[in-house]
């Protein structure tokens, strides 16, 4: 690389080094010019070009949320909500989860809040007498909640009792498990 090209590179590299701090700038100025230092100067120029391009793009396309940098850590005065995770659904089925028919026969035990659970298959709800009712919500049906919402242990026991009798495509889960084909 000719000396004039190296001199052209030294300016931006020194400017970048000055921005990074006086200590770094002093080290670059004191080093003798070697192949390694020339490569470092070229690298410093590339870094400077890319940093300038990133700044240019950020100015041209500001973040619509108004944040200066969407990937930046939140400021000290910004309070982020804490996420909670809860288990809200269980599955009960006589078929193995790997069976392609599993989704057709699975019975769900779903929380409805306040320690109450619903046993459901598709859009049907199980009552205490092991009969299925259409719908998953009590809208306009007096007594529905009392008949279809249970504590978890009761809901689990009812789901396990009902699981072999769930019917899909005209075949019960127990018959499908025994090898009967769908109709």
* Mean pLDDT per 10-residue interval, the chain, length 183 residues: 52 57 47 63 68 69 62 68 88 95 96 94 95 88 92 97 96 93 79
Q: At CA 159, angle to CA 86 and CA 108, rounded to 5?
A: 45
Give the global pTM. Answer: 0.56
Task: Write the CA distances from 58 to 48, 64, 90, integer angstroms.
Answer: 15, 11, 47
Calpha distance 116→124 (Å, rounded): 17
What residues does each domain of the chain span? 3-60, 89-177
Calpha distance 102→36 (Å, rounded): 64
- The pLDDT of residue 152 is 96
């Amino acid at each position: 690389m000719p000396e004039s090209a190296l001199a052209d590179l030294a300016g931006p590299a020194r400017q970048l080094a000055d921005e990074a701090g006086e200590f770094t700038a002093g080290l670059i100025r004191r080093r003798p010019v070697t192949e390694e230092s020339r490569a470092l100067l070229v690298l410093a120029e590339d870094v400077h070009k890319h940093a300038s391009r990133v700044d240019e793009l950020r100015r041209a396309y500001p973040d619509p949320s108004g944040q200066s940098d969407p990937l930046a850590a939140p400021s000290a005065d910004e309070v982020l909500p804490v996420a909670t995770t809860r288990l809200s659904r269980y599955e009960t089925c006589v078929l193995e989860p790997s069976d392609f028919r599993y989704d057709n026969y699975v019975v769900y035990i779903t929380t409805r809040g306040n320690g109450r659970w619903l046993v459901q298959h598709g859009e049907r709800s199980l009552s205490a007498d092991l009969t299925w009712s259409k719908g998953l919500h009590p809208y306009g049906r007096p007594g529905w909640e009392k008949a279809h919402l249970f504590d978890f242990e009761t809901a689990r026991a009812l789901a396990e009792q009902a699981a072999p009798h769930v019917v899909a495509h005209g075949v019960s889960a127990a018959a499908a498990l025994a090898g009967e084909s769908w109709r």
